[in-house]
Amino acid sequence: MSKTRKRYIIRLICRCVILIFCTVLCFVSPKSFDILDGMNFFKSFSVFHILWVIWIIDMLLQVIPVKNEVPLGSQKLFANRFKPIREKINRKALKKHITSTTSSAYMVMILWAALIAVIGVLYFYGIISKIALFMISVLFYVCDLICVLIWCPFRLMMRTKCCTTCRIFNWDHLMMFSPMIFIWSFYSVSLWAMAVLAFIVWELCILLYPERFWEVTNTALQCSECTDKLCTQYCQKLRKGHDAPHKLRSDIQ
């Protein structure tokens, strides 16, 4: 098991603990969620400030280049993680690939927006509360790593082989905090704004540097070069790694 996968398993356990802790607070101390109101963020310190800092740091690591601590799937937008192929890039094939993956990505976005719209209707009709919106975000926080480590429905929709090559890898926080868009407070707006910034940086880099996002043009994304080994099927893929260069050369011709 790679260091990255071990680290992610520990993070998943920690996120599950956070979910359980917040669930308990819903029953024993619902008043602690007052931080979700207006500018209460600045009135007193609570454990939710710690969680806020963790989330902000996670998103900062998506918009600045980090060499070792962050998985390649999240950092492939940066030049320091790009390993270009020796052959001349087939720009027509590259454009076709980016167009196809972007089409699938925005279909995911539409379906997710529909889910969030349903959550918003439930909130505005008083069926669920601000606390429920927050808890849904925390649940998504856990599900994010379940998708990485265990099973990801978006991989099926995107037809993506793994997280390293995933077109929407850095959409995680935007999707995670989307339920809190209905809460007007510093706590929610600051998280949502940072998530939007991470999303914009990601999308701009795809527009400006598409070659960094395709394994055919970025050898760092190929299974044979994988060091993160987050994918549960990576062993099988690495065994096939010796065949990858031949396939890639045929793809770019």
Structural tokens at position 199: 């999303």
Q: Which residues contact 92 (CB under 8 A, 6 or more apart)?
A: none
**Tens digit of pLDDT for each residue in 123-156?**
999 999 999 999 999 999 999 999 999 888 888 8
Does residue 225 have a pLDDT over 80?
yes
**For residue 155, what pLDDT is reported?**
84
Q: What is the mean pLDDT of the chain?
A: 90
CA–CA separation, 202 vs 161, rounded Å?
20
Residue 174 has pLDDT above 80, yes or no: yes
Q: Strand, helix or coil at 248?
A: helix
The residue segments making up the domain with residue 168 are 3-252
Q: In terms of Cα–Cα distance, which of 238, 243, 245 is closest to 224? A: 238
235 has pLDDT over 60: no
Closest by alpha carbon to 210, among 225, 221, 194? 221
Q: Please tell me which residue, 2 or 94, carries the higher pLDDT value.
A: 94
- The pTM assigned to this predicted structure is 0.89
| Tokens linked to 238 | 């690495």
3-state secondary structure of 45: coil
DSSP H stretches of helix in the chain: 3-28, 47-63, 72-75, 91-124, 130-149, 153-158, 172-176, 186-208, 234-239, 244-252
Q: What is the pLDDT of residues 36-54, one digit of tens each?
A: 999 999 999 999 999 999 9
| pLDDT category of residue 245 using cuts at 50, 70 and 90 | very low
- Which has more confidence, 111 or 66? 111
Percent of the chain surpassing pLDDT 70 = 91
Count CB neighbours of 86 within 10 A.
6
Q: What is the mean pLDDT of residues 164-192?
A: 96
| Better-predicted residue by pLDDT, 251 or 113 | 113
Categorize the per-residue pLDDT at 230 as very low, low, confident or very high, splitting at 50, 70 and 90. confident
The pLDDT of residue 234 is above 70: no
Count of structural domains, the chain: 1
